[in-house]
Each structure stands twice: as structure tokens, then as C-alpha cells.
Amino acid sequence: MDQLTLAVVSRNYFNLPAWIALQDGLFAAEGLDVRIDHIEGIEEVNERLRDGRAQLAYGVTEHVILDAEAGGRQRIIGGNVNRLPFSFIARAGIRDYAELRGRRIGVSSLRAGSSSLIIRLLAKRGLRWPEDFTLVPCGPILARWDMLRSGEIDAGLQGAPLDQIALDQGFVSLGNPRDEVPDFQFTSLDLDAGWAEANRDLVLRFCRAFLRAHERFYADQATASRIAMQESGIERRYADRAWEQYVREAIFPRDGEASEAGVQALIETSSLIRDLPPRERRAADYIDRSWLAAARGSL
């Protein structure tokens, strides 16, 4: 068995296709022994890909774009969270966006991730950062959930199924960002192009398992929910609700592909968080579809 390491962000539902490939034997069928490293710091996922501690990653897509703009070799080769699965969850008693003035809003990082989304959503409602609210870097959604419950933050994006758990515990939803940003490449399957070219057979075998895992997610709810419960500790009712939402809204791409429209929306939205010169490259320049195409052709 050939060993590979896949770095992922935290232990949340976003990782389900990789968990399916591991637990249902799809990696093993390709002769791969894949270790999934669950990382709480979203920047560290990108760093491990850069320094070789991980060969592939479910990373925050913005980090790949920043790496490429700095002359790096990271590339998006597949999709993960292609559409936003979030609700904007706030403490009980906060009734609308206007009541977020002066509040502390949790985000994954000030450098990438949910920050730009929050700024975009609140700007449309007349709230400007940093004058009108504070962004608090918390890490991934599990950390944001803990800080929301402890009162350290007043609101933040929560992904399915944590948003449903929050509502059942008395928190409130101020809305769904996907209603305003229908396509957004939040996370993706990423790798270092130099390593990939030197290890073509390994990448293609990984990609075949990746493609099969996405199809199995859509075709086999029982397996998807069982593995989600096993890996993330959620109850069956929440695992089933999350599966229904992810299938209905095609949050995971059934064909495994990254979304060009989603990457473009990310590029345009992320400019709110940093003072960057206009980006000359378009979304397609950051996506290498050749790996999935070759893997699909060999299935």
C-alpha cells in the first residue's frame, strides 16, 4: 500500500467524501493507505501542503489563490464545498443584522475564509468593518460553535448540520448567505503541482477514489449518514438533515469538479478583506481539471 496524507480543516461534515473513501475502502481499493489529518488552524492546512507534510488537502480555496499569486505551485484539482452550507447564527435576542452593530462576530481567519463573506453581507445592510463591528478569528466552525455557546462571540457562520443543532438549542438564524451568493468555492481539493507531476500514478489513483466517493455520497444516504455520525459524533437526525441539504443544493459536486463560478465569486468577494491590486487571472487559471479528467477516463 502506498501512503498519502490528506490535510483537512477540523472534524466537520465538509470532510465526508474523504471519510467515505477511507471508511468504505475506496482508497484501499486503489492500493492507497491514506491518513487524514484533521487540522484546527486553517492556515496550517495550506502550510502542510506547501512544506510536504501533506500531499493533498481539503483546504480553504482562498489560500490556494494567494499561494499562486505569490508564485507558488498549489492548484485546485477538485471541488469540496462548492456552495455555501452556512446559516448566519446569532445569540438569542439578536433579531436582525442591524443589531449586530457593535457586536463580536466570529470568523475562521482574518486572512481568508468566512471574513470576506461577513463583510459582504453586512456591508449590504449598512454595517462597515471595522467601524461598526469586530471580527474575531476563531478557527473552523467547531471552534466558532464553542465560542458562540460560551458568549465569546455574538454571531458567526455555522455550517450544516451545526446550524440546525444551534436552532434547536435556542440560537437564531439571521439568514443564509447562499441566498445572496449562490456559488462560492469555500473549500477545494488542492495539491502542489510539482509534487503531482512527479507522482502522477498516485494522484490518479487518489482521484479515482475521490470520484467514486462523491458518487457514493449521492447514491447511498445510509452509508453517508453512518460515516458522518462515526467521524463527527452527530446524531442520526442531524446527519440525515445535512445529507438532504447537501444533495438538494449540490454543495458537494457529484462529479467532483471545482466550480469556476464559485472560484470567481470567491475572488471578487475576498477583495473586501485585503487591499489587493486587481487580479489579472480569472478563476479558470487556478483550476487544473486534467487530473480528474484522466482519472475519470481510467475508471
Round to whole Å and give the CA distance between 30 and 247.
26
Looking from the CA of 260 toward its CB, the CA atoms found within 13 Å total 8
Domain extent, residue 115, equals 86-179
Is residue 179 pLDDT above 60, yes or no?
A: yes
* Residues 171, 227 within the same domain: no
Q: Which residue bears the cell 488552524?
A: 41
C-alpha dihedral, 135 to 282 to 71 to 56, nearest 10°: 70
Q: Is residue 107 helix, strand or coil?
A: strand
> Given this model, what pLDDT does residue 170 score?
96
Same domain? For 164 and 250 the reply is: no
pLDDT above 90 for 101: yes
**Average pLDDT of the chain to the nearest whole number:** 92
Residue 189: all three cell numbers together: 481539493
pLDDT tier, 274 (very low <50, low <70, confident <90, very high otherwise): low
Instruction: Specify the number of domains making up the chain.
Output: 2
Query: Do 230 and 293 fall into the same domain?
Result: yes
What integer is the mean pLDDT of 266-285?
A: 71
Last residue of a domain, one of 142, 163, 179: 179
pLDDT in tens, 63-88: 898 888 889 999 999 999 999 999 99
H or E element, residue 177: none
Asked if residue 58 has pLDDT above 90, the reply is yes
- CA angle 62/65/71 to nearest 5° reads 145
190 shares its domain with 240: yes
- The confidence score (pLDDT) of residue 180 equals 84
Q: Give the CATH number, domain containing residue 112.
A: 3.40.190.10
- pLDDT category, 254, cuts 50, 70, 90? very high
Cis amide leading into 253 (omega within 30): no
Residues 207-222 have pLDDT tens digits of: 999 999 999 999 999 9
**C-alpha separations of 242 from 51, 152, 167, 194, 207 in Å:** 34, 26, 14, 36, 24
108, 114 Cβ separation under 8 angstroms: yes
CA nearest to 86, candidates 149, 155, 9: 155
Note the pLDDT of residue 110: 79
- State which of 155, 179, 203 marks the end of a domain: 179
What pLDDT does residue 217 have? 98
pLDDT at 238: 96
Residues 100, 146 share a domain: yes
Whether residue 117 is found in the same domain as residue 154: yes
SS (H, E, C) 54-103: CCEEEEEHHHHHHHHHCCCCEEEEEEEECCCCEEEEECCCCCCHHHHCCC
Q: Of 129, 149, 179, which residue constitutes the final position of a domain?
A: 179
pLDDT tens digits for range 116-156: 888 888 998 999 999 999 999 988 888 889 999 999 999 99
Same domain, 72 and 192: yes
